[in-house]
Structure 1
Amino acid sequence: MSDEAREAVGDYKFGFHDPENATIRFDKGLSEQVVRDISALKDEPEWMTDIRVKAYHHFMERPMPDWGNCGELNNIDFDNVTYFLRSSDATEKDWDDVPDDIKNTFDRLGIPEAEQKWLGGVTAQYESEAVYHSIRE
């Protein structure tokens, strides 16, 4: 984290990040092929891939907003962003099987263990991927 970012976060209790421990990590940058590769990796249907590709082209064709304080958006280097990584190879059905580093993140966020383990219809996401899913009967 840069000094500027660290200063902006200050002592905000949720201003932390975990060390990267990805099982799958795409190179930085976005292209139509990256969009298609992500969709394929998620085993998405063709119609979903088509929507994602259409959205990608829409994003690429649009200028950055220039109203309000949106000028700061011009500082984003979209080619220096990793658009997909996966931190777990499986979606677990038992909270005890979720990797400890991922469970620790939920602890740091203040999610009580009772909620983590026993709420019905819960899916826990980490790095945009489901790492735990349970439907209570």
Structure 2
Amino acid sequence: MLFTPGPHPVEECAVHLAAATGGAPGALVTELLADPAALHQRIRRAVVDRAPDIGALIAVDQFEEVFTLCRDREERDAFVALLIAATRRRPAGPGWYSASAPTSTATACRTPGWSKRCATRRSRSDR
């Protein structure tokens, strides 16, 4: 799934996720904001028919837009939390899909200096 976050990164994520999974974007926004694990779960459901060792990729181009265009701090924090939660391995069990095929994220920043700022932001949110 490839997208540019724009001023509303959770909404953009939901629109692209809906296109990939057939869901309704509005309902997905609500679901994603309510539970950071929802992105991971939705993507895993979408790829359940693949071989168990094939994961998924979330590619966010111009990631700096999360900080330069999104004015809502709660939405910014929620979006970063979604990406982090989507990449964490989880044990197989009730409510979770295979731990063997993780979701990966790739972020690209086009504005000089933002890659370092975004990496610093992520390391702070992991604490």
Q: Return the TM-score normalized by structure 2.
A: 0.23
Q: Which has the higher contact order (CA 8 A, sep 6+)?
A: 2
Q: Return the TM-score normalized by structure 1.
A: 0.22
Greater helix percent: which structure?
Answer: 2
